[in-house]
Structure 1
Amino acid sequence: MTEKEKMLAGEPFETMDRQLAEERRLASERLGRLNALSIDAEGYRKAVTELMPNAAADCLVRPPFHCDYGYNLYIGSEGFINFDCVILDGAPVRIGNHVLIGPAVQIYTFTHPMDYRERRQGIEQCKEIAIGDDCWIGGGAVICPGVILGQRVVVGAGSVVTKSFPDDVVVAGNPARVIRRLDF
C-alpha cells in the first residue's frame, strides 16, 4: 500500500511521504485562493469546488478556512462553516445536510502514537469523523478523531468532543457529555 492508501484506510502511515506532501502543498495553494475571497465574490464557488470536490454545490465556507487536503471533506447540502475553522482531513470528514459549524471550530482526524519513539518517526494515523444532518457545532468546539455525531446533535461552544453521541442530544463540556435530550 502507498502511504496515502494507508492514511485513507486508517492504518499508520508516514506523514512526510512525498505524495502526501505534494497534495498538502496543492491544497495550500487552493486555500490561498479561497481565503482571498468573500463568499459573494466572483470565483468563490470555483475555489470551493477546486479545494473540496466532494462538497455540495450550495455549501458555504467563510474564509479564512484551513484544511490539509480538501478532497476528504464531504459537506452536505446547505452546510455552513463559519470563519477560522480548521479541519485536519487525513481521513474522510462527512458533514451532513443543513449542518451549522460555528467560528473557530476544529475538527481533527489525525492522531499520534502514545509512544514518543514512534512519534519521532513521523508515524500518524487518521480516524474518520461523521456529523449527522441538522447538527449545530458551537464556536470554538473541538471534534476529536473517530467521533460520530448522530442527527440533530447540538455541541456547546468551546466543548471538546472525545467520543460519539446519538441523535437528538445537546452535548457540552470538556470532555463533552450529554446535557439534555432534544424532544421534537
Structure 2
Amino acid sequence: MSRTHQEHEEHRDLGDREKAVLDKIRRGLVYTETEASFQAPQRRPDLVFAYNHTPPDQPERRRELLVAALGSVGERTVLLPPFHAGFGSNVHIGDDFFGNVNLTFVDDVDIRIGDGVMIAPSVTLTTTGHPVHPSRRADFGRFSEPIVIEDKVWIGSNVVVLPGVRIGYGSVIGAGSVVSRDIPPMVVAVGVPCRVVRAITDEDLTTRTAAED
C-alpha cells in the first residue's frame, strides 16, 4: 500500500470513528474525553474570555464577540458578563433574551433558548452528566442530552437545569431549584428536585402591580 493511499485510509477511518462517537452522543450513551477530542476546535474560550473583559461602554464590540462565540444569537439580546461556556458553539439564543451574571452553559450538545427568556444570576444549564459507578468515569466518561427552554420562561437565581430537560412556554422556575425533569408550559415550579406547585393564571396579571386600575 502506498503512503498516500494509507493516509487516505486513515483519514477515512477517522471520519468513521467520529461519526460513531457522534451517534453515541446523540443517543445519550456514555462517551469519553478521548473519543470526543476531535470536537475541540468547536470550543470558543478565547471569544468568551474577550467578551467577559470588554468594557460596558463598547456594546457593539460585545455584540460582535457574542455572535462569534455562540451558535446563534437573536436580536436585542443582553448577557451580562461574566458568563461561561464549555463550547459556546452549541448555545442558541432567541430574541429579547436577558441573562444575568455568572450564567454557565455546559454545552457539550445543544442548548436552545427561545424568545423573551429571562435568567437570573448564577444559573447553570448543563447538558452533561457522569455515570454513577466510578469505573465508568474513567477518561472523564460522560453522557450528554440537549436542553430546550421555550419562549417567555423566567429562571430564578442559582437554578441548575440538568441534561435532557425541556422547560415549557411561560413557566417560572423558583430560585435554587434543581430541574431534573421536563416542566410543562405556564406553571410555577420550585424545589430540589424541581416540582410544579401551581399553574400560572389570569389572576397573576394583577399581582405585583404599582397601582390598582
* TM-score calculated relative to the size of structure 2: 0.79
Q: Which moved more, 1:121-130 or 1:92-101?
A: 121-130
Letter in 1 for 2:48: L
Q: Which has the higher strand share?
A: 1
Check the 8 A contact 1:7/1:90 in 2, yes or no. Answer: no
The aligned counterpart of 2:197 is 179
Matched, 1:18 2:41: no
The aligned counterpart of 1:32 is 49
CA distance in 1, matches of 2:153, 2:55: 24
Distance 1:77 1:39, change over 3 A: farther
Check the 8 A contact 1:4/1:19 in 2, yes or no. Answer: no
Matched, 1:83 2:101: yes
Larger radius of gyration: 2
Check the 8 A contact 2:160/2:178 in 1, yes or no. Answer: yes
Aligned length: 182
Cα drift, residue 125 of structure 1: 1.2
Match of 2:169 among 145, 151, 159: 151
CA distance in 2, matches of 1:21, 1:9: 20
CA distance in 2, matches of 1:57, 1:87: 20
Distance 1:38 1:177, change over 3 A: farther
Distance 1:8 1:54, change over 3 A: farther
Specify every segment of 5 or more residues in structure 2 that has no aligned partner in the other structure, as ranges: 1-16, 203-213
Check the 8 A contact 2:124/2:159 in 1, yes or no. Answer: yes
CA distance in 2, matches of 1:110, 1:87: 10
The superposition leaves residues 59-117 of structure 1 with CA deviations (integer Å, 9 ceiling, x where unpaired) of: 21110000111111111110111101111001111111000000100111001112211
Matched, 1:46 2:71: no
Cα drift, residue 4 of structure 1: 5.1
The aligned counterpart of 2:121 is 103
* TM-score calculated relative to the size of structure 1: 0.91
CA distance in 2, matches of 1:54, 1:6: 25
Q: Which moved more, 1:12-21 or 1:72-81?
A: 12-21
The CA RMSD measured in Å over matched residues stands at 1.7
Distance 1:43 1:8, change over 3 A: farther
The aligned counterpart of 2:211 is none
CA distance in 2, matches of 1:74, 1:179: 29
Q: Which has the higher helix share?
A: 2
CA distance in 2, matches of 1:79, 1:5: 31
Specify every segment of 5 or more residues in structure 1 that has no aligned partner in the other structure, as ranges: none
Percentage identity across paired residues of the two chains: 31
